[in-house]
Amino acid sequence: MSENGYEEFNGSEAAEPSPDVYRRRRIVAALIALLAILLLIWGLTWVFGKIGGSNDNNANSVASSSEFSEPFDSFSARPSESDSASADASESAEPSDSASPSDEASASESADSSASASAEATDTPEATDSATPSESAETTQTPEPTPTEAQPLACGASNMNVVLSASQPSYGKGQNPSLALTYTNTSQNPCDIPADAQNVVINITSGSAQVYNTATCQVSPAAVAQLAPGQVGQTAFTWDRKLNSLGCNNLRDIQPGYYWATATVNGVTSEPARIVISG
């Protein structure tokens, strides 16, 4: 102490800092600690990333080394730039010769697997229950049409000739006129005449007067079904000298005179034949 009673200042003793200074120091220390923690986290992340990348590179290198460690049995030379056009043409024209044995083995394995699958399909009960090829062929085969004979054409004006004639020039008292009818197939093929009363008709007139017609009161005097080529059909008809133009229940005897008779066969009519009744 000084003589005046005051305590003297000693330079060796530092003044005690204020609370604001302590507060600033604590904030700076906290920031430094936070920065150190962030740097530590970043460093650890970088280290682990390096370790993971090296592992992936090692795996890739192992895989690539395992791929290239296989024998080069399937190796084929690649075409050069000058040979690219010829190589493309040869590849489009015929299969490539650079197929590896592994590809051929896989193709053969797939063929074997498809063959075994088809064999299994054929061994199933449904396949065994199906019809045999012969049975299916028999069921699907259409029957051959049986040959049929050519149907004959109808006899007509183009292939038939009809002629009617009287047995004598004139007929006296008590004589019934007799008429001969012939019809000839003039073609090289058979022709058909249905056996019907309307297909063979004898008609007798006197001038413009109708006298007699076979279709009025009786059946046809001829029943011919078919004529062969060149065949001649013949039939005879005897007129009883009756008039039936007034009906079958009103028959009358004719008078002597001149009469004309025609024959119609299947629509073909003959030339008129003269019948003379003298008594």
Model confidence pLDDT, tens digit, residues 36-72:
999 999 888 988 888 877 666 655 554 544 454 444 4
Mean pLDDT of 22-43: 91
Rounded Cα gap, residues 209 and 254, in angstroms: 12
Task: For residue 211, count other CB atoms closer than 10 A to its CB.
Answer: 22
Predicted pLDDT of residue 275:
97
Per-residue pLDDT reduced to its tens digit, 102-159: 444 444 555 455 545 444 544 444 444 444 545 544 555 666 656 456 667 889 999 9
Q: What single-letter DSSP state applies at residue 73? A: G
Count the alpha carbons within 13 Å of 279 in the hemisphere toward its beta carbon.
4
Residue 260, CA distances (Å) to 86, 212, 253, 257 in order: 104, 10, 16, 10
Both tokens of 29, joined, read 């220390």
Q: What is the CA radius of gyration of the chain?
A: 66
Would you say residue 18 has pLDDT above 50?
A: yes
Q: What is the pLDDT of residue 199?
A: 77
Distance from C-alpha of 189 to C-alpha of 184, rounded to nearest angstrom = 12
Chain position carrying tokens 């024959």? 263
How many Cβ atoms sit within 10 Å of the Cβ of residue 160?
21
More confident site: 188 or 97:
188
For the stretch 230-244, pLDDT in tens is: 999 888 999 999 999
Averaged pLDDT for residues 85-95: 47
**d(C-alpha 34, C-alpha 222), whole Å:** 142
How far apart (Å, rounded) are the C-alpha atoms in residues 24 and 88? 81
Q: Is the pLDDT of residue 90 over 90?
A: no
Q: What share of the chain is helix, strand, coil (3-state, %, to 5)?
A: 35, 20, 40
Average pLDDT of span 63-82: 48
Per-residue pLDDT tens over the stretch 166-218: 999 999 999 999 999 999 999 999 998 877 666 789 999 999 999 999 888 87
Residue 99's pLDDT is what? 45
CA dist., res. 256 & res. 276, Å (int)? 8
What was the pLDDT predicted at 89?
46
pLDDT of 256 > 80? The answer is: yes
